[in-house]
Amino acid sequence: MEQINTDICIIGAGSGGLSIAAGAVQMGARVVLVEAAEMGGDCLNAGCVPSKALIAAAKQAHAMTTGAAFGIAPVVPEIDFGKVKDHVSDVIAGIAPVDSQERFEGLGVRVIREWGKFTGPQELTAGNFKIKARRFVVATGSRPFVPPIPGLDSVPYLTNETIFAQRQRPAHLIVIGGGPIGMEMAQAHRRLGCEVTVIEGAKAFGRDDPEAAAVVLAKMRGEGVDVMEDAPVVRVGGTEGAVEVELKDGRLVKGSHLLMAVGRQVSLDGLGLDAAGVEFTSKGVTVGPDLRSSNPKIYAVGDAAGGLQFTHVAGYHAGVVIRQMLFGLPSKSRTAHIPWATYTDPELAQVGPTEAEARKAHGDGLTVVRFDYAENDRAQAEHKTEGFIKVMVVKGRPIGATIAGAQAGELIGIWAMAIATKQKMGDVAGTVLPYPTLGEISKRAAGAYFSPTLFDNPMVKRVVGLVQRYLP
């Protein structure tokens, strides 16, 4: 068995692991990267990238059917589902070189394509290699959670890891789970010509602001997606091409394909964390704000750290860990400024607390301001008037923002930055943006915060009156 001594050993070549490896090796650290599965992790191969590529194809198909408002005759698109999946594969292939073993070896990273397992507090075995490192990083990500539904073990089903290889268009896709993955895939497949039923045991978009979720649900239902809420599943049955889902109230939903999209499970199996003295639960490695585990030589980032499960969080964690490991600087992670988005049409985006969460935390100290897409000129020009923004403000500073509407994932950025840098509402209101853009929605929302003070204040009107009367 070959002995390797290194400064940093990273287990997992997803977003967090690759970011740490690239940064650390280019700043002079010796780095070993252990990954037995695909380079790029879930995001590149079965998550963010393929799903957004599929959504892009679905938008093209949908646009062909919705041109009447612009004076363009709608047509029924001819959809080659296999070629749609070729497009998805091409997008993955276009990005893959950036995450490839060859690139990282070119940077100076020692890449070992084996499963890793801790055999001691500072020792890991991977294939025929024994690795001793000054610091380890667990960046193993997560995988689809498949609940123990009676009958599911004998019925063919899809997850996000397998659905993108499905080259035959499902006649009727049943999606169990009304979260971001399930709802994105539901709308995309509906636009690509499938019948789609979503079954959610509680509320669809359950983690989002209910008012914002209602905007997207109305649009999806209007497009023909059947969304069944408060519908717990008690049994699954059927065979390939003919599946059926029984609900708690006795209803039976029949379809051709089944997609399980009920959440994610952290991937820590077989890692030998006990041997390394690392505490963990089913939610992930137990870490502090500095992302260190109970073994101070071992960090965890991304999904493995047991918090928000987003690719951009893993990238953010990479910076927190690098500052500590390479420069010995204190660095802690926080979540108040972390945004997220669901890429349905319209999109949903959130940073900080929702209105309900903010009211519970701040009571009468909270001010909520909003602005509707329908009052934005660019939204009117593009017939994208569904939706709104609302901003939660405490003592003149934004603490949260909710956006439901076109390009919400892009528009949330200014609020994420404002919260991260502790800016005031006046900073956003004073920003000059090009006209006409959807970005003006944020500026107008910030301006709405000052409207009562400026327009409904008798003192302001009295001062203005005096100035107009006596100013030369």
Q: What is the pLDDT of residues 264-315, one digit of tens each?
A: 999 999 999 999 999 999 999 999 999 999 999 999 999 999 999 999 999 9
Reply yes or no on whether the pLDDT at 38 is more than 80: yes
pLDDT, average across residues 41-48: 95
Task: Return the CATH number at 198.
Answer: 3.50.50.60
- Buried b or exposed e, range 49-70, using 16+ CB within 10 angstroms: bbbebbbebbeebbeeeeeeee
In a domain, 72, yes or no: no
- Name the residue range of residue 10's domain: 2-39+100-144+265-327
Q: What is the mean pLDDT of the chain?
A: 96
pLDDT, average across residues 61-76: 97
Distances (CA, A) of 6 to 277, 294, 462: 20, 21, 72
Helix (H, G, I), strand (E, B) or coil at 451: helix
DSSP 237: E
DSSP 365: G
DSSP 363: G
Q: What is the tens place of the pLDDT at every residue in 316-347?
A: 999 999 999 999 999 999 999 999 999 999 99
Residues 270 and 132 in one domain: yes
Q: What is the pLDDT of residue 472?
A: 75
Q: What is the pLDDT of residue 9?
A: 98
In a domain, 304, yes or no: yes
d(CA 339, CA 106): 33
Question: CB of 401 within 8 A of CB of 391?
Answer: yes
Residues 115 and 230 in one domain: no
d(CA 16, CA 372): 36
Residues 199 and 123 in one domain: no
Residues 226 and 212 in one domain: yes
Q: Name the percent of the chain lying above pLDDT 90.
A: 95
For residue 127, is it left (φ>0), alpha (ψ between -120 and 50) or beta? left
pLDDT, average across residues 435-454: 91
d(CA 22, CA 310): 20
Residues 156 and 202 in one domain: yes
Q: What is the pLDDT of residue 471?
A: 77
Of the three residues 262, 278, 312, the one that is the final residue of a domain is: 262
Q: Name the percent of the chain lying above pLDDT 70.
A: 98
In a domain, 302, yes or no: yes
Residues 110 and 168 in one domain: no
d(CA 438, CA 412): 11
Q: What is the tens place of the pLDDT at every residue in 217-242?
A: 999 999 999 999 999 999 999 999 99
Residues 404 and 348 in one domain: yes
Q: What is the tens place of the pLDDT at every residue in 358-391?
A: 999 999 999 999 999 999 999 999 999 999 999 9
Residues 246 and 159 in one domain: yes
In a domain, 171, yes or no: yes
Q: What is the pLDDT of residue 308?
A: 95
Residues 247 and 293 in one domain: no
Q: How many other C-beta atoms are found inside a 10 Å radius of the C-beta of residue 201?
A: 18
Q: Report residue 206 as tokens.
A: 């359950």
In a domain, 55, yes or no: no
d(CA 377, CA 330): 46
Q: Report residue 82 as tokens.
A: 């296999």
Task: Return the CATH number at 396.
Answer: 3.30.390.30
Answer whether 0.75 is exceeded by the pTM: yes
Q: What is the pLDDT of residue 470?
A: 78
Of the three residues 221, 245, 262, the one that is the final residue of a domain is: 262
Reply yes or no on whether the pLDDT at 29 is more than 80: yes
**Torsion sign (Cα): 437, 223, 248, 146:** negative
Residue 327: closest CA among 51, 27, 80, 90: 27
In a domain, 211, yes or no: yes
Read out DSSP for 67-96?
-GGGT---------HHHHHHHHHHHHHHHG
Phi then psi dihedrals of residue 112, to 5 deg: -120, 120
Q: Which residues contact 353 (CB under 8 A, 6 or more apart)?
A: 361, 392, 399, 400
Q: What is the pLDDT of residue 1?
A: 87
Residues 304 and 346 in one domain: no
Q: What is the pLDDT of residue 455?
A: 61
Q: How many other C-beta atoms are found inside a 10 Å radius of the C-beta of residue 324?
A: 17
d(CA 167, CA 82): 5
pLDDT, average across residues 43-50: 96
pLDDT band at 460 (very low <50, low <70, confident <90, very high): low
In a domain, 465, yes or no: no
Q: Report residue 176 as tokens.
A: 């169990």
Q: How many other C-beta atoms are found inside a 10 Å radius of the C-beta of residue 456?
A: 9
Of the three residues 327, 350, 372, the one that is the final residue of a domain is: 327
Number of folded domains that form the chain: 3
Residues 370 and 437 in one domain: yes
d(CA 445, CA 415): 11
Average the pLDDT over each of 106-115, 409-418, 450-459 and give the range with the smallest value: 450-459
Q: Which residues contact 167 (CB under 8 A, 6 or more apart)?
A: 81, 82, 85
Residues 140 and 13 in one domain: yes
Q: How many other C-beta atoms are found inside a 10 Å radius of the C-beta of residue 112?
A: 23
In a domain, 68, yes or no: no
For residue 370, is it left (φ>0), alpha (ψ between -120 and 50) or beta? beta
In DSSP terms, which residues pair with 10 in a beta bridge? 33, 137
Q: What is the pLDDT of residue 452?
A: 76
